Amino acid sequence: METVTGSPPSPSAPLPEGDGKEVSFAEAALRLGGKSEEEARRLGAVDRADEQVEALFAAQYQTVSSPVHKAAWDGRAPLDLFAPPPLPESAPCDAAMQRCLAVVRRRRDEKKLFDDKGKITPETIAELAEAGYWGMLIDPKYGGQGAPFARFAPFVTRMGLIDPTVAALSSVHGCIGAVDPLRTFGNAEQRGRLLPILARGERISGFALTEPGAGSDLTALKTTATPAGDGFEVSGEKLFITNSIPGRTIGLVVMLEGKPAVLIAELPHEENEHFQLVTYGLYALRHTYNNGLRFNRFYVPRANLLKPPTGDGLTIAYHGLNLGRLSLCASAAANMRVFLANILPWAAFRKTYGQPILQRELVKRRISRLAALIAGADALVAWGGWLIDQGFRGELECIVAKIFGSEAQKEAAIELYMKTHGGRSFLHGHLFGDNVHEYLAPCIYEGEGEMLGMAFFKSLVKEHGRQFFEPIGKKLQQAGIKNFSPMNPIHLWKLRGELSSYAKWSLGRKLASRDRQTVPGMDARLAEHLAYVLDQFPRQANEISQALRKHQLKIADRQCRMAELSQRMQNLVVMLVTLMWAHGKQGKKGAEVAAGAADILCQDLRRQLTGQRPSDRYFRDLNRLADTIIDGGFEGLAEVPAEEILMRY
């Protein structure tokens, strides 16, 4: 996995320069906002890459048509797009999934998953290949299983209950590795030649994007590809690349003729003068290989250059990140189940003042909070996977899932699991002490959380900014006004047309009727949260619009304000997705726990938005949910292996 992050927000529209060249409005706005030409140019390049990814999707599946965007700006949330239908009872990929789970479960029980270095053994990788693991997301005509993503993502959770590293490798290989770039951007010859190899597991893959000086700033890439004969010679260095050892296949991002490009590079089976590993000590990802890669005139055939229909290598890089973000949330759902399954026996064993701590209210709060976080992660995974399969780009939705999943896992590991286990958490052999870095690192994977939050903000406001604020910005530039003042009558007169358009929109929002949708048969607790969320979506969007109006071209520098507004909107999304997911569980096994957990999560997120203190009712709800879980009401925990209780005295 890599530490790729999002970019600060900037609007985008072509604007002519004096010499006749086209420069994006993002660049013009950033220059007027005080940015250097270099920074404005680089941020404009990232913004164009985002536009190019957007162009890959049909209009009805682009960001402006996404559930989140509609809920914020249309004045009425599309509830049908927040309620995925149940998965079919079976699918052709199920048999391979069962085989893969059995392989990993058996090798774990036989203690044959890891070699003497603590890494996944080649034998495990080979057995999984025979079971069909590495072709799970590859079309059957290339030898894969063709799993829909809505089925693959919960499978990642099930695999994570057995072993989180094996689960993570499925995402590295199929989502952010070479599989997705080839499936999406490869031509017929490339897919026919390379996908069967990846499906059979003869080579498993990774994606080499990050460099020592290029993480958040992907425009700082320095690895270059130079034409040489029938291919390219690559020189440069990559950093923090998972699955990067000799004999693997990687999607390799390079600068080719001044633009980012992606090559499918088949690494040799041994290091040589053209390819070396750069090793370092890394606490996280301890059961897999994560290395730097150094290239010195490393040859890649021209036939392995991917050519997207629009855009360049950044288009390809950004595309696969959404799938990886959703898989990360699925992995977090697995780890948090493991925490819950191991809190319960420990809390029953551990006594204070003659009573098991399982009966203490603070411990019950932790149990219920953990169940609530699991419910949120499960809901986001089911929703996001369905949207991806429907054809949506899913950028906003997958960002929410990634941020929620990684932050929930962090909280669950430290605030709920570690604190309940106390000092034993730091013993050798304890689940937390041995894996703490694995639980924290996802906050960085696939985009550091707050940076991604600003990317969420950018995508959420882009169309609104294009419609109302870009005309104002253009007029300001044309009129030579650098510091607009609403108290200056000359400024108001020169911008009268552009300002009146925004004023009409703002007045229309104020006069619009409230979104009072209801869902027949919904649990009263969930219905109360639904009414709150539907009321808040337009209110929060209005607040975002006011921030744009206030800060104007300086908005890109107001990172803390953007992050705060972004998080508020994300909380509303998580609430709506989770309560609709819980409603869908009605009449099924585990429905009461689902509704109770969703209610607790919604109450927690709601208080973050309102600043209110928890009520006595909330504490009663916590105890009630915890008692149900203690009595065995939480499904699926039987699959989780119980960790040994250390120092039983």
- Taking only Cα atoms into account, the Rg of the chain, rounded to an integer number of angstroms, comes to 25
Please check whether residue 641 is in contact with residue 378, taking contact to mean a CB–CB distance below 8 angstroms: no
Helix (H, G, I), strand (E, B) or coil at 217: coil
Helix (H, G, I), strand (E, B) or coil at 614: coil
CA distance 7 to 447: 10
How is 317-382 classified by DSSP, letter by letter?
Answer: HHHHHHHHHHHHHHHHHHHHHHHHHHHHHHHHH-EETTEEGGGSHHHHHHHHHHHHHHHHHHHHHH
pLDDT of residue 148: 97
CA distance 41 to 626: 54
Note the Cα 107 to chain centre separation in Å: 30
Q: Which residue has the tokens 């460099």?
A: 211
Question: Is residue 39 very low, low, confident or very high in pLDDT (cuts 50, 70, 90)?
Answer: low
Is residue 225 within a helix (H) or strand (E), and if so which, with residue range?
strand 224-228
pLDDT of residue 21: 43
Residues 586-614: b if buried by 16+ CB within 10 A, e if exposed? eeeeeebbbbbbbbbbbbbbbeebeeeee
- By the 10 Å C-beta count (0-12 exposed, 13-18 middle, 19+ buried), 619 is classed as middle
Residues paired with 253 in a beta bridge: 262
Query: Does the pLDDT value for residue 491 go beyond 60?
Result: yes
Main-chain phi, psi angles of 474, to 5 degrees: -65, -45
The token pair at 250 is 């990687």
State the DSSP code for 642: P
Query: Does the pLDDT value for residue 34 go beyond 60?
Result: no
Residues 6+ apart with CB under 8 A from 453: 6, 399, 403, 562, 563, 566, 567, 570
pLDDT of residue 1: 54
For residue 427, the domain's CATH number is 1.20.140.10
The residue-averaged pLDDT of 557-563 equals 93
Domain of residue 433: give its range.
323-449+634-639
CA distance 50 to 459: 9
Main-chain phi, psi angles of 487, to 5 degrees: -90, -5
Query: Does the pLDDT value for residue 49 go beyond 90?
Result: no
Note the Cα 427 to chain centre separation in Å: 32
Any domain includes 419: yes
* Residue 281 CA: distances (Å) to CA of 168, 174, 289, 393, 534: 20, 26, 11, 36, 48
pLDDT of residue 266: 97
State the DSSP code for 298: E
Query: Does the pLDDT value for residue 14 go beyond 60?
Result: no
Question: Is residue 497 very low, low, confident or very high in pLDDT (cuts 50, 70, 90)?
Answer: confident
Any domain includes 413: yes
Any domain includes 164: no
Any domain includes 138: no
Any domain includes 372: yes
pLDDT of residue 9: 35
Residues 6+ apart with CB under 8 A from 322: 388, 393, 394, 395, 398
Residues paired with 277 in a beta bridge: 293
Give me the sign of the Cα torsion angle 528, 534, 535, 541. Answer: positive
CA distance 353 to 195: 61
CA geometry: angle 416, 337, 568, nearest 5 deg: 65
Any domain includes 329: yes
Treating both helix axes as pointing N-terminal to C-terminal, what angle do 25-32 and 37-54 enclose, rounded to 10 degrees?
Answer: 150
Helix (H, G, I), strand (E, B) or coil at 278: strand
Question: Is residue 320 very low, low, confident or very high in pLDDT (cuts 50, 70, 90)?
Answer: confident
Query: Does the pLDDT value for residue 43 go beyond 70?
Result: no
Pairing between strand 14-16 and 22-24?
A: antiparallel
Query: Does the pLDDT value for residue 3 go beyond 60?
Result: no
Q: Which residue has the higher pLDDT, 106 or 485?
A: 106
SS (H, E, C) 423-479: HHHHCCCCHHHHHHHHHHHHHCCCCCHHHHHHHHHHHHHHHHHHHHHHHHHHHHHHH
The token pair at 130 is 């025979």
Q: Which residue has the tokens 């906050």?
A: 443
Q: Which residue has the higher pLDDT, 470 or 78?
A: 78
Query: Does the pLDDT value for residue 404 go beyond 90?
Result: yes
The residue-averaged pLDDT of 632-646 equals 86
Comparing C-alpha atoms, which of 75, 89, 64, 71 is closest to residue 151?
A: 89
Please check whether residue 47 is in contact with residue 26, taking contact to mean a CB–CB distance below 8 angstroms: yes
Query: Does the pLDDT value for residue 133 go beyond 60?
Result: yes
pLDDT of residue 73: 96
Residues paired with 252 in a beta bridge: 208, 263
Percent above pLDDT 90 for the chain: 75
The domain total for the chain is 1
pLDDT of residue 498: 84
pLDDT of residue 12: 32
Q: Which residue has the higher pLDDT, 46 or 617?
A: 617
- Residue pLDDT, tens place only, 186-235: 999 999 999 999 999 999 999 999 999 877 676 788 999 999 999 999 99
For the beta carbon of residue 567, count every other beta carbon within 10 angstroms. Answer: 19
CA distance 57 to 60: 8
pLDDT of residue 20: 38
The region, left, alpha or beta by phi > 0 then psi within -120 to 50, assigned to residue 78 is beta
Any domain includes 377: yes
Mean pLDDT is lowest, of 44-53, 170-179, 500-509, 536-545, for 44-53
- Residue pLDDT, tens place only, 71-121: 999 999 999 999 999 999 999 999 999 999 999 999 999 999 999 999 999
- Residue pLDDT, tens place only, 432-447: 999 999 999 999 998 8
Mean pLDDT is lowest, of 96-100, 330-334, 347-351, 464-468, for 464-468
The token pair at 414 is 């430290």
Query: Does the pLDDT value for residue 346 go beyond 70?
Result: yes
Pairing between strand 249-256 and 224-228?
A: parallel
Report the predicted TM-score, pTM, of the whole model to 2 decimal places: 0.93
The residue-averaged pLDDT of 150-163 equals 97
The residue-averaged pLDDT of 452-457 equals 94
Any domain includes 646: no
State the DSSP code for 92: T
CA distance 298 to 265: 9
Query: Does the pLDDT value for residue 350 go beyond 50?
Result: yes
Please check whether residue 535 is in contact with residue 515, taking contact to mean a CB–CB distance below 8 angstroms: yes
- By the 10 Å C-beta count (0-12 exposed, 13-18 middle, 19+ buried), 362 is classed as exposed
- Residue pLDDT, tens place only, 243-275: 989 999 999 999 999 889 999 999 999 999 999
Question: Is residue 605 very low, low, confident or very high in pLDDT (cuts 50, 70, 90)?
Answer: very high
Comparing C-alpha atoms, which of 176, 425, 128, 121 is closest to residue 287?
A: 121
* Residue 44 CA: distances (Å) to CA of 178, 264, 602: 27, 27, 38
CA distance 505 to 329: 37
CA distance 478 to 146: 53
Please check whether residue 458 is in contact with residue 9, taking contact to mean a CB–CB distance below 8 angstroms: yes
Q: Which residue has the higher pLDDT, 392 or 639?
A: 392
Mean pLDDT is lowest, of 116-125, 289-298, 493-502, for 493-502
- Residue pLDDT, tens place only, 518-547: 999 999 999 999 999 999 999 999 999 999
Q: Mean pLDDT for the chain?
A: 90
Pairing between strand 305-306 and 290-301?
A: unpaired
